[in-house]
């Protein structure tokens, strides 16, 4: 594998990593063909691996119902008024809670699940090579029983998902021989955020992700949301979808995590997915109390969950453009989907042979 020498440009808004001598392996037309190839194959393989059925999903939901996803708990969704019914709607930021409602309303059974194409706008996103205000992902959710609410079961599902990612990369490389050989290892490594803090006490959480991804090449980082020994969480998580407070293996908290891989073209940790076993009534109340958000108990979604009218589930999202970018060895996510960028970002990309759509 050829060495990658990168330059990081600090822009007035955001930053841009520029691989030295970058040239796309596929031209624009072939890139679009490859995106179709990847999306068709990946969603079919994911559905087969996890026993998922495709469903239609909303682009927006009514405000003040608790259905929209507030991610780290601080991002503000795009909202607009609906004149005819006198209501305010929000463009979804993900479908974490809507999927759980759908599993109940559509009468799915334990071991069955759904997936959908989720399109979102996240205006508070910090824009760079990997982040855009436009988000497209496969949102998926599957019903579990109480005995499966464990780190052991979480790892089982992660291995299935990672197998689909790994095998898709290999198939893409076979289909498009212009691309470099596969990057991903046969197996994924599991590590808890508390272990990461112990291994790299002087590094920030993002620097820990970089260090462990560089070393292991593919890693699932468990336990994101609860405070570590340092007194702060590895990263934020909203209080009402992932269960980050229940004790798992070795007394360490969290039944959730993120899938990362090492991405040689940008020399960075590359996140594919955020996922986890979802809160039950007990952990929801606990996490609402930790975050001083008990007022949410009266929202529509939260009431149904606290009344045990929603199934126990595991779920997450897999970035469609992220996966396409990784498989096609692109330098910027704007090479695989159309979005809005600053003039400075556009000009710098153009001058370094990075063609944004």
Instruction: For 25-56, write each residue's pLDDT tens digit.
Output: 999 999 999 999 999 999 999 999 999 999 99
Q: Which of 116-125, 173-182, 324-333 has the lowest mean pLDDT?
A: 116-125
Asked if 323 and 273 touch (Cβ cutoff 8 Å), the reply is no
How high is the pLDDT of residue 125?
84
Q: Does position 253 have pLDDT exceeding 90, yes or no?
A: yes
Asked about 271 being catalytic, the answer comes back as yes
When pLDDT is averaged across residues 290-298 and rounded to a whole number, the result is 93
Q: 156, 141, 144: which is closest to 47 by C-alpha?
A: 141
| DSSP code for 15 | E
When pLDDT is averaged across residues 245-274 and rounded to a whole number, the result is 96
Asked if 49 and 160 touch (Cβ cutoff 8 Å), the reply is yes
Q: How confident is the model at residue 13 (pLDDT cuts 50, 70, 90)?
A: confident
When pLDDT is averaged across residues 73-79 and rounded to a whole number, the result is 71
Residue where the block lists tokens 């799915």: 108
Q: Is residue 59 part of a domain?
A: no
Asked if 169 and 326 touch (Cβ cutoff 8 Å), the reply is yes
Q: Quote the CA–CA distance of 357 and 339 in Å, as a whole number.
A: 8
Phi, psi of 306 (to 5 degrees): -70, -25
Q: Quote the CA–CA distance of 289 and 268 in Å, as a whole number.
A: 36
Asked about 137 being catalytic, the answer comes back as yes
How high is the pLDDT of residue 88?
87
Q: Quote the CA–CA distance of 352 and 331 in Å, as a whole number.
A: 10
Q: Which of 42-51, 119-128, 192-201 has the lowest mean pLDDT?
A: 119-128
Asked about 227 being catalytic, the answer comes back as no
Asked about 247 being catalytic, the answer comes back as no
Instruction: For 330-351, write each residue's pLDDT tens digit.
Output: 999 999 999 999 999 999 999 9
Q: How confident is the model at residue 74 (pLDDT cuts 50, 70, 90)?
A: low
Asked if 132 and 333 touch (Cβ cutoff 8 Å), the reply is yes
66 or 279, greater pLDDT:
279
Asked if 281 and 305 touch (Cβ cutoff 8 Å), the reply is yes
Q: Quote the CA–CA distance of 201 and 115 in Å, as a whole number.
A: 38
How high is the pLDDT of residue 86?
87
Q: 240, 326, 313: which is closest to 52 by C-alpha?
A: 313
In 3-state terms, what secondary structure has residue 247? strand
Q: Please report which helix (H) or strand (E) contains residue 53, including its range.
A: strand 52-54
Q: How confident is the model at residue 79 (pLDDT cuts 50, 70, 90)?
A: confident
Give the active site residue among 90, 240, 258, 335. 258
Q: 353, 336, 240: which is closest to 36 by C-alpha?
A: 336
Give the active site residue among 137, 239, 245, 283. 137
Q: How confident is the model at residue 102 (pLDDT cuts 50, 70, 90)?
A: very high
Q: Is residue 189 part of a domain?
A: yes
Question: DSSP alpha helices (H): ranges in the chain?
Answer: 28-50, 96-105, 151-175, 193-199, 205-216, 281-290, 300-306, 320-327, 343-351
Q: Is residue 335 part of a domain?
A: no
Q: Is residue 168 part of a domain?
A: yes
Q: How confident is the model at residue 3 (pLDDT cuts 50, 70, 90)?
A: low
How high is the pLDDT of residue 1?
41
Assign residue 152 the CATH number of its domain. Answer: 3.30.930.10
Asked about 240 being catalytic, the answer comes back as no
Token pair listed for 168? 């898709």
Q: How confident is the model at residue 7 (pLDDT cuts 50, 70, 90)?
A: confident
Give the active site residue among 245, 274, 283, 320. 274
Token pair listed for 3? 């060495």
In 3-state terms, what secondary structure has residue 60? strand
How high is the pLDDT of residue 72?
59
Q: How confident is the model at residue 4 (pLDDT cuts 50, 70, 90)?
A: low
Give the number of domains in the chain: 1
Q: Is residue 286 part of a domain?
A: yes
Asked about 258 being catalytic, the answer comes back as yes
Q: Is residue 167 part of a domain?
A: yes
Q: Is residue 36 part of a domain?
A: yes
Chain-centroid distance of CA 310 in Å reads 23
Give the active site residue among 57, 100, 122, 240. 122
In 3-state terms, what secondary structure has residue 304? helix
Per the structure, the complete domain to which residue 324 belongs is given by 30-54+95-329
What residues pair up with 81 in beta bridges, in sequence order? 88
Q: Is residue 188 part of a domain?
A: yes
When pLDDT is averaged across residues 286-302 and rounded to a whole number, the result is 94
Q: Which of 68-82, 88-102, 234-248, 271-285 has the lowest mean pLDDT?
A: 68-82
Instruction: Look up the pTM and report it.
Output: 0.93
């Amino acid at each position: 594998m050829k060495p990658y020498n990168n330059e990081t440009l600090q822009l007035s808004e955001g930053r841009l990593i520029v691989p030295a001598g970058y040239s796309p392996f596929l031209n624009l037309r072939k890139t679009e063909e490859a995106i179709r190839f990847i999306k068709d194959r990946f969603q079919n393989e994911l559905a087969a691996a996890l026993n998922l059925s495709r469903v239609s999903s909303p682009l927006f939901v009514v405000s003040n119902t608790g259905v929209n996803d507030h991610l780290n708990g601080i991002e503000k969704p795009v909202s607009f008024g609906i004149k005819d019914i006198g209501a305010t709607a929000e463009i979804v930021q993900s479908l974490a809670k809507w999927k759980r409602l759908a599993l109940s309303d559509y009468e799915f059974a334990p071991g069955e699940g759904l997936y959908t194409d989720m399109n979102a706008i996240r205006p508070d996103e910090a824009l760079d090579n990997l982040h855009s205000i436009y988000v497209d992902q496969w949102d998926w959710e599957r019903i579990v029983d109480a005995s499966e609410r464990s780190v052991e079961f979480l790892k089982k599902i992660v291995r299935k998902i990672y197998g689909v990612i790994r095998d898709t990369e290999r198939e893409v490389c076979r289909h498009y021989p212009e691309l470099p050989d596969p990057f991903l290892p046969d197996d994924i490594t599991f590590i808890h955020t508390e272990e990461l803090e112990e291994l790299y006490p002087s590094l920030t959480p993002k620097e820990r992700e970089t260090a462990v991804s560089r070393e292991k090449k593919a890693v699932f980082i468990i336990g994101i949301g609860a405070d570590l020994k340092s007194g702060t969480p590895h990263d934020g998580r909203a209080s009402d979808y992932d269960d980050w407070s229940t004790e798992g293996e070795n007394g360490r908290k969290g039944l959730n995590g993120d899938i990362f891989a090492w991405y040689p073209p940008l020399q960075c940790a590359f996140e594919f997915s955020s996922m986890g076993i979802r809160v039950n009534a007990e952990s929801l109340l606990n996490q609402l109390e930790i975050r001083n958000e008990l007022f949410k108990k009266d929202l529509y979604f939260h009431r149904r969950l606290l009344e045990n009218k929603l199934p126990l589930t595991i779920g997450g999202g897999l970035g469609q453009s992220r996966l396409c970018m990784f498989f096609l060895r692109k330098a910027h996510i704007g090479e695989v989907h159309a979005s809005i960028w600053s003039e400075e970002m556009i000009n710098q990309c153009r001058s370094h042979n990075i063609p944004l759509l």
